[in-house]
Amino acid sequence: MNSDPISPLLKSAFFLALLFYSIIASADDFQEIVVLNSYHPGFKWSTDITHAIGDYYKNEESVRLFNEFMDSKRFHSPGYFKQLEQFLKIKYADYPIDGVICADNYAFDFFLNHGSKIWGDIPAVFCGVNNIQEYKQLLDSTKHAAVVEQIDVLETLKIIQSLQPDLQEIIVISDETLSGQIFAKQFNHAIQKTLSQIRIRFTSTSDPLKLKAELQSISPENKAIYLLSLYTNRSGIPHEMVCESHFLFDDINIPIYSNWDFLLKDLIVGGRLIKAYDQGFLAAQLMHQKLKNKPTPLLTTPPHYNILDQKQLQRHQLKYMGNLDNIEIINQPESFIQRFKKELIILLIILIVLIFIILLLTTDIIKRKRIELALVKSEKRLELAMEGANEGLWDTDMDSFYYNDQFAKLLEYEHAEDLDLSIDNWKKYVVSEDIDQIREAYEMHASHKLPTFKCEVRLILKSTKTAWFSIHGRITSLENGVPARLTGTMINISTQKEFEDQLKQAKEKAEESDRLKSSFLANMSHEIRTPMNAILGFTDLLTEGNLNPKEQQDYLNLINSSGENLLSLINDIIDISKIESGEMTINTEAFDIHEMLTELKGIGNSLVKTHKKNINIRILKEIKDQQFFIHSDSVRLYQVMLNLLSNAIKFTENGFVDIDYTILNHYHIQLSVKDTGPGISKKDQQIIFDRFRQIDESTVKKHGGTGLGLSITKSIVQLLGGTITLHSEPGKGAEFIIHLPCKIVIPTAVPQQTW
């Protein structure tokens, strides 16, 4: 029979073409969806929406999601949105997108204005848009769909009246954001239908301190708070209400109601609530239908939930009388059966099994009694021994895996049955970097290169934390020369490892300290010799005579300057010694901070003139009065500010040095020294406050110094009960900020002045 040599080649070519076509087809089947969030990552509403969309598509391997966060609560200028459009246009220029899911108002507006320029004419689904009905005419039902976010104010007011029948006033807390204005409008529309005899008071979160003071001034009797704001405003920066709630409401004994489920946790009594998860899940469902070319409604309304928090009801002494439909009450105390349901079921199963076993073994129970007692005693002794040694026992026949309770407890499980460890899934309990170490240890033992199986690895505990364990074992059975059984023990060595790490760190720290002290001593010798040589040298010249009056005055000035430098160095050494020995004391007194700033400015101008630098020393003060008194240690605070001012002048050639203070409250003040010097890198900022450390640690430095100044400054600030921080970037100067607790005599606040 003749064979055709070309036939195999044709078959191979056909197979490769078919494979290539299947790969291309598979790639084309992928659907790329952008999830455009209005807010920032971590905001609970946005997180729930994103999580719901991810849950819907978690089993869809052909769908890839791209999450974009606009952070529009903090940044919403037209220029920002224009730059965002350019960024996204570049990002997705070569990456075709099949659909966009927009979450909340800013993303909705952004897509309508810029979406087609970035992604082209593609389907879009909108959720979390508070006023979607007003934009209905702008939507195309063939390409668009929306999940309505409409808070049910009317039903929430009914819940409030049901819980508080003697209600006299509702305090409505809103804000000036776009969503806040929409919610306030919806509230006003709802109260026109009800609450004719109840007073309504509107207030805003634009000033949290003012809001807290207002709420504290209101008598809580027969009052309720309706929370429509999800943000507060602190110094122009929005903060989430769930983060600010403790500050605003912890000492306010007025029941709070709202319309969002994520406010339930330790904040609101309840209300007619909507869930961000529903918004995201329905939006993903609509997008899925759109991409499958299935008909979808233009607007979809998610469910609302009547939910009350039992803890908040008890806190405000409110009683739910069962007069509302479909009410879900959370955080109710569990009954005994609910609380111990699992334990009771286990106990019942054990009892049934024991009864069944007793019935089966009645005929020979006497014969087995002694054997069982002996076995129990033996096992108990072994278990007690293992527990006493804090070791877990394990055994495997290469098909199944056995371990005792102590083994499970080492991994934070109550019982061995709670730990799902087997031959097939053991890797998930081992840190991935240590898996090869276990394999290598087993292979070395199986090949008789080592007498035992032994390794030290990190295992993953029930709490997802990791801990170090020492695993020992030995092959106890062979079949045809192949290991058939392996038995051993396991012990937690995390404390030992931690001790080893501490020893290593202590050794490195000691070596570093020794190096720094050596460097400090070498530098100190240079810093001391330089002014001493100047003093001795110019003194010799003066004693020799033959100098005109100008030369004599110049030499005397140099001797005086060298003496001051030497005195400053000695003072630093004395201060650091006092700090080390705990002998530095703080003497609190009332003093005029304006007088201190004036002296600092005079010294700063003198230093600028001496060093012939083009620097403008500016003092910024918040209080315009001639005198402004605070209670602190004037000497030590003056030392701190003079040190920071001297450093700023030392490292600044041109520009300005600003000394500023801000009154934070009656008991705290903030002082700062800001310059236009070369700035400090992030790496150097980590060591700049360390003792004996400088950015330039060589003995030949441009600016001199011992590396003690900022360390002393930080120690004094801490002794004063304050903190010091540094904000700087290379090339942009540096700003040292001191937060200082002190009693302040606050005059009437006026605009900040420069003088």
For 83-114, the pLDDT digits (tens) are 999 999 999 998 899 999 999 989 999 999 99
We find that the CATH architecture of domain 364-492 is 2-Layer Sandwich (3.30)
153-273+304-330: CATH topology is Rossmann fold (3.40.50)
Distance CA 327, CA 155 (A): 12
HEC sequence for 344-399: HHHHHHHHHHHHHHHHHCCCCHHHHHHHHHHHHHHHHHHHHHHHHCCEEEEEECCC
Distance CA 150, CA 129 (A): 8
Classify residue 486 by burial, with Cβ atoms within 10 Å: 0-12, 13-18, 19+. buried
Amino acid at 256: I
Does residue 690 contact residue 602 with C-beta atoms inside 8 Å? Answer: no
| Partners of residue 674 on adjacent β-strands | 658, 735
Q: What is the dihedral of CA 593, 594, 599, 600, to 10 degrees?
A: 70
Q: What is the pLDDT of residue 186?
A: 86
Sign, CA torsion 629/634/639/640: negative
pTM: 0.45
Q: What is the pLDDT of residue 523?
A: 62
Does residue 285 contact residue 294 with C-beta atoms inside 8 Å? Answer: no
Q: What is the pLDDT of residue 255?
A: 95
Range(s) of the chain covered by CATH 3.40.50.2300 = 27-148, 153-273+304-330
Q: What is the dihedral of CA 392, 393, 398, 400, to 10 degrees?
A: -90
| Partners of residue 94 on adjacent β-strands | none
Distance CA 408, CA 421 (A): 10
Mark the ranges of the chain whose per-residue pLDDT is less than 70: 1-29, 195-196, 374-389, 516-527, 529-531, 533-534, 537-538, 541, 554-555, 558, 561-562, 564-565, 568-569, 572, 576, 581, 691-707, 746-755
Does residue 669 contact residue 689 with C-beta atoms inside 8 Å? Answer: no
DSSP designation for 575: H
Does residue 322 contact residue 306 with C-beta atoms inside 8 Å? Answer: no
Provide the 10 A C-beta neighbour count for residue 560.
12
Range(s) of the chain covered by CATH 3.30.450.20 = 364-492
Range(s) of the chain covered by CATH 3.30.565.10 = 585-754
Distance CA 457, CA 427 (A): 12
User: Which tokens in the block code for residue 46?
Assistant: 């946005």
Q: What is the pLDDT of residue 362?
A: 81
Helices and strands (H and E) in the chain: how many: 22, 29
Per-residue exposure over 648-682, b if at least 16 CB sit within 10 Å of its own CB, e if not = bbbbbeeeebbbbbebeeeebbebbbbbbbbbbee
Tell me the CATH class for 585-754: alpha beta
Tell me the CATH class for 498-578: mainly alpha
Does residue 519 contact residue 692 with C-beta atoms inside 8 Å? Answer: yes
User: Would you tell me which CATH number, out of the four given (3.40.50.300, 3.40.50.2300, 3.90.1640.30, 3.30.450.40), belongs to the domain 27-148?
Assistant: 3.40.50.2300
User: Which tokens in the block code for residue 365?
Assistant: 């129970």
Does residue 293 contact residue 98 with C-beta atoms inside 8 Å? Answer: no
Nearest Cα neighbor of 215 from 171, 163, 183 is 171
Nearest Cα neighbor of 686 from 722, 656, 726 is 726
Q: What is the pLDDT of residue 196?
A: 65
Find the helix packing angle between 276-291 and 44-56, rounded to 10°: 40
Three-state DSSP at 633 gives: coil
Does residue 147 contact residue 286 with C-beta atoms inside 8 Å? Answer: yes
